[in-house]
Structure 1
Amino acid sequence: MLPSLIILDDFLKDPWAARRAALALDYDPARQHGNFPGLNSSAPLDTAAVDSAVSRHLGMRLGAAPGTQHGHCRLTRKGDRGKSGVHIDPASYSGILYLSRPEDCARPDAGGTDFFRHKRTGLESVPHDPARIAASGYADANALIEDVVNKDTKLPAKWERTLRVPARFNRLLLFSPWQFHNAAPGFGTTPEDARLVMLLFFAPVAAAGRS
């Protein structure tokens, strides 16, 4: 089983080049169809080097999870609001690479990533074990997700924050996507000083030639 959370600082050899490439992407407001706050890039950055480095670190070959915006970047300014709040990700493993400038990450209002406990159930993630799901009062994982995550996603009083991972330039946060999490509030007013991250949604890659 992959670790629930890993923080890798100074991840990229040339993070400023990655930041410039991220800012050069198109963030068309008309093409935003997700529940997230802010703007996602219309196209991804090349993730080959990131995928390879993460695969080496975790000891398994990982690539883009199907149907996700793996490698896309997101700009979130102060006051941006999404259609959902606390959530889980449709992937085997998630990652967030922070590309905001060091001086912006150091501000008191700089938003990293928050993790939560659901107050009523006491859960901090969707259990993998059917016995734990049943002990929580649900027939299966889908029923739990619907009644806990989807129902209470925008109700802050239903959640207790257990951890905030601060934003830091060139920090890669890797975590289990089944944990209840959300982006901390955005900051800044322009692309230059806003919260800027690369989104990563991983899935195992089957070895070639195996039947």
Structure 2
Amino acid sequence: MSFNPPQTPFRPPARPAARPAGLPVLPYRKPTKGRDYWVIDDVLPNIDEVRARCLAKDDWVQGAPVNPEPWPGQRAMPALEPGELARVERLVRKATGAPRIWAENPDGAGTFNHNCVQAVGKDECEPRPHTDSRSLCRYAAVLYLSPDTPKDCGTSFYRQNLPGGRLGGNQVLAPHNNLVDALGTRFVPPDSFTEDIRVPHRYNRLLLYSANLMHSATGYWGTTLEDKRMTAVFFWMA
């Protein structure tokens, strides 16, 4: 089974790199709660059962740093059972006003990691601002599944940090599909982005957002499966 995420994360280069000349400036849209992102608390009444079921999984797939994958930590599918997922999707439709949402099944894209549980420790990854693929999703969401993870390990929205202290944009629009397409490069200096909005981590919280906005986990936590930052991730078209 392969896991091909609908996002292309940026890895800071191994050594300092010169800022690419003429890096495009993206359009900016201030992330606004209720328009660009939604925070829904106490999502599942059986959240402890969901977490216990995820902890008991024996089919975890290891990413970086254990294996040379572009994604960190470990993953398994599915995160939620059909009834639980249906409840989440009702909340998503209500929040966004979308009459219908669905998960794409892209040809030749391997196993799409919608409804996937992932656990990432504090030493396994750093924040990696990215956008999700416009061809695969309009909305994305993360459900926080670890009760003891600090609030500063939630999710942040980012924007460009340009030379001279100027601020750039945070959106990927047509004709581009993701952040790599829009910038024309995968490798950028680590100071190319700056945090704009931070949504704190909270157990059983669903953060739903427009998938073309630049975002990343604010931070990771823990060293064992039981205390790592555990989330379920979702991607929908509408």
TM-score by length of 2: 0.68
Question: In 2, distance between residues paired with 1:33 and 1:49?
Answer: 35
1:94 aligned partner: 140
Question: In 1, distance between residues paired with 2:49 and 2:184?
Answer: 37
Question: In 1, distance between residues paired with 2:143 and 2:184?
Answer: 24
1:65 aligned partner: 104
**What percentage of aligned pairs have identical amino acids?**
28
Question: In 2, distance between residues paired with 1:104 and 1:9?
Answer: 16
How far has the Cα of 1:52 moved from its partner?
2.8
Superposed CA offset, 1:123-177 (max 9, x none): 111135xxxxxxxxxxx4259742527535x632111110121110000000011
How far has the Cα of 1:49 moved from its partner?
2.6
* Residue identity matched to 1:6: W
Change (3 A) 1:173 1:16: same
1:24 aligned partner: 56
1:3 aligned partner: 35
Structure 2 unaligned segments of length 5 or more: list them.
1-33, 107-111
1:200 aligned partner: 234
Question: In 1, distance between residues paired with 2:193 and 2:179?
Answer: 15
Number of matched pairs: 186
The answer to whether the aligner puts 1:85 opposite 2:85 as a matched pair is no
Aligned partners of 2:131 and 2:179 also within 8 Å: no
TM-score by length of 1: 0.76
The answer to whether the aligner puts 1:104 opposite 2:137 as a matched pair is no
The answer to whether the aligner puts 1:185 opposite 2:219 as a matched pair is yes
* Residue identity matched to 1:192: E
More off after superposition, 86-95 vs 16-25: 16-25
1:208 aligned partner: none
Question: In 1, distance between residues paired with 2:67 and 2:78?
Answer: 12
SS at match of 1:151: coil
CA RMSD in angstroms, aligned pairs only:
2.8
Structure 1 unaligned segments of length 5 or more: list them.
129-139, 205-211
Change (3 A) 1:48 1:142: closer
* Residue identity matched to 1:111: C
